[in-house]
Structure 1
Amino acid sequence: MIDICFRNYESYPLERNSVIITQLCLALSDLYLQVPEWTNFVAEILERFGTPDKTPVLLTFLKTLPEEVQSSHLRIGENRRRAVNTELAQKTQVVIHFLSQVCVFNSNDDAILKRVLSCFSSWLLNPLIPTDDIAASELLKYVFSLLQNPNSPNSLHDSACECIVSALYRAEDTNVNRALAVALQTACYEMADSFSMAVANDDFDRLQGYARVFCELSESLLECVIQEPGQHLGDFRSIEMLLLLAGYHDYNLVEMTFNIWYRLSEYLYERNDDDLNAQFKPYIERYIMALYKHCRFDTDQEDVPDENDDFVEFRGQVSDTLKDVVFIVGTDRCIQSMFSILQSVSSGSWDESEAALYIISVIVHNVLPTEETVVPLLVHAVLVMPITSHPILTNTSIKLLGNLIDWLHENKQYQEGFHLEPCITWLLDKVQKPCFVRAASESLYGICEKCESSCLEHFDSIFAIIPFLENGENKGQQLENSILLLLQACSSMLNGLPGEETATRLRRLIEPQMTHLAELLKSKVDISPNEPQDSNENASDSWYLLSRDPVLWVDRIAAVFRHVQPWTHQACNPKNTVQNGSSTSTNDSVPTLWIATVKEVWPFVLETCRKYEKNTRVVEHCCRAIRFMIRFLEVHSIIFIESLVEQMVDIYNRHPHSCFLYLASILVDEYGHLDNCRSGLVHMLNILCNDSFKLLQEQNGFRNHPDTIDDMFRLAIRFVQRAPSVFFQEPMSAQLFECGL
């Protein structure tokens, strides 16, 4: 059979049958790997195909064989794989010599040279090869020369990059492969001039190749840079190579380096050594300055770009890498540096100021509350910004205020100086403009959630914006997302207020949503089974179309109850007010008006669930709203539970939505510790689980209903946690255990 394969190679000239030859090589390689008794394979191949006319076939063999050996898809034992790798490693010197000779005798044949380089890359995949031989080889020097020569053919340049990347990956274990690592380090540093030449020629393909090499160099030597900074394999020129990439105008190159900066920051964070950090500080400062330049928009950009814009996504990655490395230079120092840029470019183009402001906005959440040098100046600059400022600059300023929530909250002196009020007033103006509504609503929510009742004087103003946004001309989903944020902002302000005032304002928040939901329930609107209402975001009635979906109003109700803390957590609860080391009261009963508000909205949510019981999406959102109402009232919601459980088990029998199982686990968590509730909860458990078992007993039931399995066992776990003595007396506990097995 082997002889037949060899004869077939001779029957198909490679020039016209490269695919056939490659398949034959793969077949013979796989055969060899499956036959442990077959040894000395490489020597046999070299002997049979060692003549110049068969060089292309031999190169194909030497490329495919190591690739097949390392392939995870090949089903061979690790012992056999190691034995083959050992045999190949023993032939490394012979193979490298052969490849070098091919390069010498075919120096003008780019196609053959490319095959040689591909073969060399594959050979480097073997983890057992003796890298000292490779480090001193003429072949590696030839590969270096291709990358150091600005006039080498593009096809060979790409293949040479692939070789060096493979070699650098192999050299990562510098203790074993030190000679190779040193050779690669020296050669890569000498490529800086070639990189500069490619920059001058704006040859992006070559630049990408160099970028791969420089990144792999830094990846492989990163531990050395940390362990012996500035010396030997820890030479800081490896970091300089990354800064070369960061300095190029196309952000695709610096994007390739982000993971390396992350790894560097992780190492330094774990070491927690100020002296070590100081050695890297100048490089991080240059890196941040390069990021600042990359973050600048084109000056002809007129509007705030969409969040899915490629450049916006890149700036999001810049945000992540900045957060990774900023601790090395210090947040205050970085902000001061960007503030200096802001001052120096105040009369320049808008994009310069915006980029500096963006960098500050990304890291400003780290500033200490005691910082009173730069931050107040920044806030003042934002608040007096001309209304004619570029929209993108304004949008970034809005985000800056939103990211300052911790500073605004902790800096009591700033709050007491009435500086918080103009910030919110400024944001209230911006939230009414379509291009800023998203950023402004996010910032308002962040500030109100953090500062809570400190923002109460703006409750009416924020709440009044919601009807205004509902009349927006387009982008209905974006408007609704912003409305939800404003509702959550208003809800957060209620935390810390006296119980009666909380109830009054809570009802104001809930009443419009309840009214709209009631009107919708009376109508005969049809909605899609499991998808939201279709809405063209650019249509003038896009929000109106969304408002015909009951989920919109149910979600608003859920958002309100989610963000108002339960009575037991409220600071105004007498039980939580301590004087002279003791509580002033032990009364923790929920204010009557709280229960009255829930009592008013509860039937509408249940009716929505009933009316759209076939619709999984609507039912899930109703269960979510019910969950937050229960959490809001805690154990005092017990007066609503009987009607809820009756409806749950009734609908679940016809439409087994797994969200009912999840909601049941919430009920057990809230009431499982109450003796008078346990029998009812157990009854609910038995009915829901019996219906669930019927569902799972269908063909492929477990595969088709993973959510049911998760939620059913979550319910069982809640019983174990809250009412174990009752649960384990029930036969259902044994059935659930068997189901789990």
Structure 2
Amino acid sequence: MTSSLDVTPENFVRTVHMLYHDQDATRKKIPSEWLLNVQSSLYAWSLADQLIRMNENSEVTCLSAQILRHKIQHNFDELPVEHCKALCDSLLDHLSRIELTRNTTVRVQLAVATADLALQYVGWEKPVEDVVEKLKTSSEHMLTLLEFLTALPEELNTSTIRIGENRRQYCREKYSNCGKQIHEILIFLLQVNPSHNELLFIGVIDENLDKAQNYTRIYTNLIESILECLVDGRQLDLSDLSCLHLLLYPLEHTDYEVVQSTLYTWYHLVGLIQTNNEFIIDKVKSYMDKLVDVLCAQCELDPDHLAIPPETGEKSSKNNGTSNSDLSEFRYRVQCFIEDTIYITEFIFYLFQKDV
């Protein structure tokens, strides 16, 4: 058992350092067991919160955020009801600290912890509104807000959270009514600082894959959430097609995964145009033309490439074990996309079949 005398911030920091930096594998077992005992104890609640607030180093803060998330997720019944409000306020403060949420692990753990608390703490009446209110002050909080809004439905639909079906259904109905507010906030964050629309290019220039993927995720989620409104124009404030520029930024990245992560949204857009109003094709065509131009440029072989170009086809893309397999699969997906959208792009498919 771990006593209160042992569980101090100083001992925790020292133990984490031993765990991560002691080269003797046999000695690592001691700090590992001590940390597990701390996590299972009642002291973990206040200790983890205190260490996150201190933010002494990334290793300690990450582990503390993980412990706090674990406690809320698995041991929420340990926490006295009168302490829930203080924990709620503390999590909101943590989420609003840029120096904490710049760390991806810390940001995700805090977002999930806040979502789990929102689902279990009955006394928290407006968690979505409170988180939005706390984070809407700066576009720097965009990723944190998105993590929370993503974690909430994910946690609600898992069996990890120990809530009854009545509570689960109540939360589904309650949070589904926040959709309009969430859309407005996301659009506001993109409009309040237009330079953030170009931040992905910083990731492109620096070849920062993590940054590019994060911003691409924001852009695709935002566009997906208002896509039907963009096409049918039923809400004038959500029907500005210029926001499709957001889907063009990721296409400049050199990593195929970043580019491919936007294709589902483009497919969805094309599908809505097919089933709704074809008069919108003229408005969308310029974006689609740009899309095809960039995709074809991405499919080009390097100037110094001397080998036979990789085959373009589903079978070859799956079976090719060479370094060209990624390019082959990417070219095949682009080929399929152009075939499916040719009526909009007016692009002659046989041009793509040449060795671009």
> What interval of TM-score do these two structures reach, taking the shorter chain for normalisation?
0.5 to 0.7
Note the alpha carbon deviations across 1:74-114, whole angstroms, 9 max, x for none: xxxxxxxxxx79x999998754531454578x876789996
Aligned residue identity for 1:286: K
The answer to whether the 8 A contact 1:117-1:163 is kept is no
The answer on 1:206 being equivalent to 2:211 is yes
Aligned residue identity for 1:62: L
SS in 2 for 1:334: coil
The answer to whether the 8 A contact 1:246-1:254 is kept is yes
Which of 156, 159, 167 in structure 1 is aligned with 2:149? 167
Which of 177, 180, 183 in structure 1 is aligned with 2:179? 177
Pair 247,322 (structure 1): closer, same or farther in 2 beyond 3 Å: same
CA distance in 2, matches of 1:320, 1:131: 40
The answer on 1:267 being equivalent to 2:272 is yes
Aligned residue identity for 2:226: L
Note the alpha carbon deviations across 1:470-492, whole angstroms, 9 max, x for none: xxxxxxxxxxxxxxxxxxxxxxx
Aligned residue identity for 1:194: L
Which of 54, 58, 68 in structure 2 is aligned with 1:62? 68
CA distance in 2, matches of 1:102, 1:60: 13
Unaligned runs of at least 5 residues, structure 2: 17-31, 54-60, 120-125, 155-174, 312-319
CA-CA distance at 1:235 after TM superposition: 4.1
SS in 2 for 1:299: coil
The answer on 1:311 being equivalent to 2:303 is no
CA distance in 1, matches of 2:94, 2:230: 37
Which of 12, 16, 29 in structure 2 is aligned with 1:14? 12
Counterpart of 2:56 in structure 1 is none
CA distance in 2, matches of 1:6, 1:49: 13
Which of 226, 243, 249 in structure 1 is aligned with 2:248? 243
Which of 217, 220, 234 in structure 2 is aligned with 1:215? 220
Unaligned runs of at least 5 residues, structure 1: 30-43, 70-83, 148-160, 339-355, 362-391, 397-741
Which structure ranks higher in relative contact order (CA pairs < 8 Å, sequence separation ≥ 6)?
2
Aligned residue identity for 1:273: N
CA distance in 2, matches of 1:320, 1:91: 56
Aligned residue identity for 1:97: D
Aligned residue identity for 1:280: V
The answer to whether the 8 A contact 2:203-2:209 is kept is yes
Which of 199, 202, 219 in structure 2 is aligned with 1:197? 202
Note the alpha carbon deviations across 1:415-446, whole angstroms, 9 max, x for none: xxxxxxxxxxxxxxxxxxxxxxxxxxxxxxxx
| Paired residues for 1:560-579 under 5 Å | none
CA distance in 2, matches of 1:11, 1:49: 7
CA-CA distance at 1:132 after TM superposition: 1.0
Pair 102,286 (structure 1): closer, same or farther in 2 beyond 3 Å: closer
CA-CA distance at 1:285 after TM superposition: 2.3
Note the alpha carbon deviations across 1:2-61, whole angstroms, 9 max, x for none: xx66749716833244555764476469xxxxxxxxxxxxxx986x55984685687444
SS in 2 for 1:10: coil
Pair 123,291 (structure 1): closer, same or farther in 2 beyond 3 Å: same
Pair 22,181 (structure 1): closer, same or farther in 2 beyond 3 Å: farther
Pair 258,334 (structure 1): closer, same or farther in 2 beyond 3 Å: same
The answer on 1:326 being equivalent to 2:342 is yes
The answer to whether the 8 A contact 1:261-1:321 is kept is no
Pair 273,112 (structure 1): closer, same or farther in 2 beyond 3 Å: closer
Aligned residue identity for 1:220: S
CA distance in 1, matches of 2:182, 2:70: 24
Pair 52,174 (structure 1): closer, same or farther in 2 beyond 3 Å: closer
SS in 1 for 2:212: helix
SS in 1 for 2:347: helix
CA distance in 1, matches of 2:246, 2:255: 16
| Paired residues for 1:367-516 under 5 Å | 393=355
Counterpart of 1:660 in structure 2 is none
Compare CA radii of gyration and give the structure with the larger one: 1
CA distance in 1, matches of 2:328, 2:127: 46
CA-CA distance at 1:124 after TM superposition: 3.2
| Paired residues for 1:97-112 under 5 Å | 97-102=89-94
CA-CA distance at 1:246 after TM superposition: 1.5
CA-CA distance at 1:208 after TM superposition: 2.8
The answer on 1:120 being equivalent to 2:134 is no
The answer on 1:357 being equivalent to 2:348 is no
Counterpart of 2:140 in structure 1 is 145
| Paired residues for 1:626-705 under 5 Å | none
CA distance in 2, matches of 1:324, 1:278: 17
The answer to whether the 8 A contact 1:121-1:162 is kept is no
Note the alpha carbon deviations across 1:176-221, whole angstroms, 9 max, x for none: 2332332223224542132233434444442233223222333333
CA distance in 2, matches of 1:212, 1:89: 36
SS in 1 for 2:13: coil
CA distance in 1, matches of 2:329, 2:80: 45
Counterpart of 1:295 in structure 2 is 299
Pair 326,179 (structure 1): closer, same or farther in 2 beyond 3 Å: same
The answer to whether the 8 A contact 1:195-1:207 is kept is yes
CA distance in 2, matches of 1:9, 1:255: 51
Pair 297,251 (structure 1): closer, same or farther in 2 beyond 3 Å: same
CA distance in 2, matches of 1:324, 1:203: 31
CA distance in 1, matches of 2:80, 2:238: 29
- Give the structure-2-normalised TM-score: 0.62
The answer on 1:131 being equivalent to 2:142 is no
CA distance in 1, matches of 2:82, 2:248: 40
Aligned residue identity for 1:177: G
> Could you tell me the percent identity over the aligned residues?
17
CA-CA distance at 1:227 after TM superposition: 4.8
The answer to whether the 8 A contact 2:231-2:239 is kept is yes
CA distance in 1, matches of 2:127, 2:204: 36
SS in 2 for 1:290: helix
CA-CA distance at 1:244 after TM superposition: 1.0
CA-CA distance at 1:306 after TM superposition: 3.9
CA distance in 2, matches of 1:260, 1:192: 18
The answer to whether the 8 A contact 1:103-1:113 is kept is no
The answer to whether the 8 A contact 1:171-1:177 is kept is no
CA-CA distance at 1:125 after TM superposition: 5.8
Pair 91,248 (structure 1): closer, same or farther in 2 beyond 3 Å: farther
Pair 54,122 (structure 1): closer, same or farther in 2 beyond 3 Å: closer
- Give the structure-1-normalised TM-score: 0.33
CA distance in 1, matches of 2:329, 2:276: 31
Aligned residue identity for 1:180: I
The answer to whether the 8 A contact 1:168-1:184 is kept is no
The answer to whether the 8 A contact 1:102-1:116 is kept is no
CA distance in 2, matches of 1:124, 1:8: 32
CA distance in 1, matches of 2:336, 2:37: 48
Counterpart of 1:559 in structure 2 is none
